[in-house]
Amino acid sequence: MAPPPLLALTGVMLTLGGQPLLDGADLSVLPGARLCLVGRNGSGKSTLLRIAAGELEFDRGERFLQPGASLRYLAQEPDFSGFATTADFVEAGLGPLDDPHAARLLLNDLGLTGEEDPTRLSGGESRRVALTRALASRPDILLLDEPTNHLDLPTILWLEEKLAGLRSALVLISHDRRFLQNLTRETVWLDRGRTRDLNAGFKEFEAWRDRELEEEERLRHKADRRIVAEEHWLRHGVSGRRKRNMKRLARLHEMRAERRQRIGPEGQVKLEASEAQSSGSLVIEAVKLHKSYGERVIVQDFSTRIMRGDRIGIVGANGAGKTTLVGLLTGALAPDAGKIRQGAGLAMATLEQSRASLDPERSLQDALTGGGSDFIEINGERRHITGYLRDFLFKPEQARTPVAKLSGGERGRLMLARALAKPSNLLVLDEPTNDLDLETLDLLEEMLADYPGTLIVVSHDRDFLDRVATSVVISEGEGVWREYAGGYADMVAQRGFGVEALKSEPQRAETKPKPVAREKPAGRPKLSFNERHALATLPQKMEALREERATLERLLADPALYASDPKKFAAAGARLEAAQTELAEAEERWLELEIRREEIEG
């Protein structure tokens, strides 16, 4: 018999602005669940998560939270108002039984001291503080809305490992495919206000979704009902593009093979044939570039040759110097030493991460055209603005919508539309996947595959780099940068591990570190009598606590109990919380003793 859910939403309905956003949505979170919530931008994923967290009222339906169950919610934009330090913000989210010292240690693991002013945090720092508050109390249910946004790769890898080791039930919203693939075992798809469940992780989702849509369309045709063209294009276009992208994937493998011919097995760039390249094929050539600020070396003896059509991914921890390296390659910065040569007729378009250049008061149409026109010129072709916006999943009526009313994902799409509208043969993208939903990522990957020029992209998205890059340039530390042919996974296979953190960042590698030989103590240690007794008796105690917890959960699952005996209901809820705490402490104590016993005996 399956255990009762810790959290359940049933038939939730919500109308915003006169339009139904949620129309009978369901969500069930069992103990230990690993669940991702997916859907297009604007489908209501964040709204449904806020309802699940108890932060938003809904029109109709039911929300059930198991009495005694603890829940923590990570919002996309945490509210730091009223807190003097980051430690104050974190400790305000702790329960009476939580350890403030452990919360401080978690802050330190994430490269923070706890004394930072929340109003002066960068996007990545604010995300780490909010994550600490969510993780510090080790809740029964953890609801995370875009937890990887603004994090660098080492922190993402650290977070992935941390979440994998938690006993908490997880509900995740994320655009990071690899993150979802590695962590989830169940998928809930929110589509047109309703939810559909897949009893498998995100790895199986896209193929399952395509089958669901194909079956739905088959049934619609069988019933001889018309499909509205706009809705059909928005919902079914991605599936068709994915099938066409099989040919593009084959072409990407060919491009990687060509790139591999120019890069040695150890990532050293071959520069001998520089003068022999045909005119126009060379985009950028760098020879022994060096750049430092004071005593800190950012780039040291870096050489590469970027040819027309190459797709270069740049990865590294925050602070490693990715922006500096891009500035050197594009000519925005002058090197302290070395030589940089750019090809003739280079026309560059850039996509900055901050999106500060978007005027919130201007409409989408004016943001693209500069104002005063209904048309835009793309590759020499004059196109109506609504048609061009449609390519980026905007509806025609959104053309005159102010930028301020767009979601984060919609602003990301607008930035892409503007960058790609500019005539260019070199495209420089800084974290282009931030805030984009999965369908927009499909669209972006298709557009980049069709882009005839050269691409330099800074990204922390492993799956995106695997789908786009022909080579990856990674920081090896101390100003050393090395290039590996292929995507992120190819780089890990050649290097033996992935992106490592700087000393102030969470320490994490893609592969397990090699065991280090330990120095043997002079005298063989032994377990004390109390430790041996605890090791022998704790398993029975843990089993008894698990049985008690199960009994209390069954008792509290009875909807009639509260009405018939409120005191018994309250006492059972309090005892359940205490039993869960005792069980967690007993399990941790037994694990510590078992590890110590194994070290002594082996």
Q: Please state the residue numbers annotated as binding site.
A: 39-46, 316-323
Q: What's the Cα-to-Cα distance from 251 to each of 207, 262, 452, 455, 583, rounded to whole Å?
A: 22, 17, 13, 15, 55
Instruction: Say if residues 68 and 573 touch (Cβ distance below 8 Å).
Output: yes
C-alpha 473/C-alpha 324 separation (Å) is 13
* Strand-by-strand arrangement of the 71-74 sheet: 71-74, 141-145, 169-173, 34-38, 186-191, 194-198
* Region for 331 from its dihedrals, namely left if φ exceeds 0, alpha if ψ lies in -120 to 50, beta otherwise: left
Instruction: Say if residues 376 and 388 touch (Cβ distance below 8 Å).
Output: yes
Q: Which among 226, 228, 221, 184 has a CA at the least distance from the CA of 202?
A: 184
Contacts of 406 (CB under 8 A, 6+ apart): 364, 414
Instruction: Say if residues 35 and 188 touch (Cβ distance below 8 Å).
Output: yes
Instruction: Say if residues 442 and 467 touch (Cβ distance below 8 Å).
Output: no
Question: Across the strands, what pairs with 25?
Answer: 12
341 phi and psi, to 5 degrees?
Answer: -130, 130
Q: What's the Cα-to-Cα distance from 154 to each of 506, 515, 537, rounded to whole Å?
A: 7, 21, 40
Give the DSSP per-residue string, 179-223.
HHHHH-SEEEEEETTEEEEESS-GGGHHHHHHHHHHHHHHHHHHT
For the chain, helix (H) and strand (E) counts, in that order, are: 18, 20
Contacts of 116 (CB under 8 A, 6+ apart): 85, 86, 125, 129
Tell me how crowded residue 18 is: count the other CB atoms within 10 A of its CB.
5
Beta strands (DSSP E) in 479-530 are 480-485
Tell me how crowded residue 196 is: count the other CB atoms within 10 A of its CB.
14
Instruction: Say if residues 182 and 164 touch (Cβ distance below 8 Å).
Output: yes
In the block, tokens 């849509």 appear at 213
Q: At what angle are helices 100-109 and 123-136 packed, to 10 degrees?
A: 150
Residues in the annotated binding site for ATP: 39-46, 316-323
For 163, the enclosing helix (H) or strand (E) is: helix 153-164
For 476, the enclosing helix (H) or strand (E) is: strand 471-477
Measured torsion, CA atoms of residues 99, 104, 110, 116, in degrees rounded to the nearest 10: 140
Question: Across the strands, what pairs with 296?
Answer: 293
C-alpha 100/C-alpha 7 separation (Å) is 27
